[in-house]
Amino acid sequence: MFTIAPVIETDRLCLRPGRLADKDTHVAMWADERVTRFIGGEPRAPDVSWGKFLSAAGLWPVMGFGYWVFADRASDALVGMGGLSYFGRGIPELEGVPEAGWAFDADHWGAGYATEAMRAALAWADANLDAKEVRCIIDPGNGASERVSAKLGFRRIGDSDALGHVVGIYGRPKGG
């Protein structure tokens, strides 16, 4: 079982565990209303962002999978975060399956980073997890994440309003 995020390199990114040095960039990213528009709906206060950063790292020792920092390979600067989670959201369709998720600093949108990072994360999941499927949720109107999910092999399997608003539920079979 993995208790810390393994390091994975792609052409432009390094998927790695988070570090204290990532704090300011992470907090600034989640204070940006462009980033939170479809993830929570409101910019996050610094203490909330930092708490979520720490809880994402805590997935690894508890679940054996979790989130990575997506860092630029050249500078090692955080450009996003994501990977696999279990957040106990109360959505029945997410119970018993890893949930994929990703978010990037708005200055790094449109460059293919989400697809690149999540292809690596899903390849790791296919090789290391005994999961027949990975799922994700996407808020209506988030066309960018819908396009990324399609490139990654996700297909819409339903909707849920368990979070107080409707989200689309997408599934990707192992090897997707």
* Burial (0-12, 13-18, 19+ Cβ within 10 Å), 137: buried
What average pLDDT does range 39-56 have in this prediction? 95
pLDDT higher than 90, residue 176: no
Average pLDDT over residues 70-80: 97
Query: With contact defined as beta carbons under 8 Å apart, do 103 and 82 qualify?
Result: yes
Mean pLDDT of 149-167: 96
Cα gap 121→129, rounded to integer Å: 11
pLDDT in tens, 21-44: 999 999 999 999 999 999 988 999
Average of per-residue pLDDT across 107-116:
96
Place of tokens 């293919």: 112
Whole-number percent of the chain with pLDDT over 70: 100
Residue 34: which H helix or E strand, with range?
A: helix 33-36
- Per the prediction, the chain carries an average pLDDT of 96
Options 3.40.50.300, 3.40.630.30, 3.10.25.10, 3.40.50.10480; CATH of 8-131: 3.40.630.30
Domain regions of the chain by residue span: 8-131
Tell me what the mean pLDDT of segment 163-175 comes to.
Answer: 96
Bridge partner residues of 14 (DSSP): 9, 71
Cα(176)–Cα(174) distance, rounded to whole angstroms? 5
Statement: residue 1 has pLDDT above 90: no
The model's pLDDT over 129-154, given as tens digits with 9 standing for 90+, comes to 999 999 999 999 999 999 999 999 99
pLDDT (average), residues 50-60: 95
Residues 6+ apart with CB under 8 A from 59: 65, 66, 67, 84, 85, 86
Inter-residue contact 5 to 17 (CB < 8 Å): yes
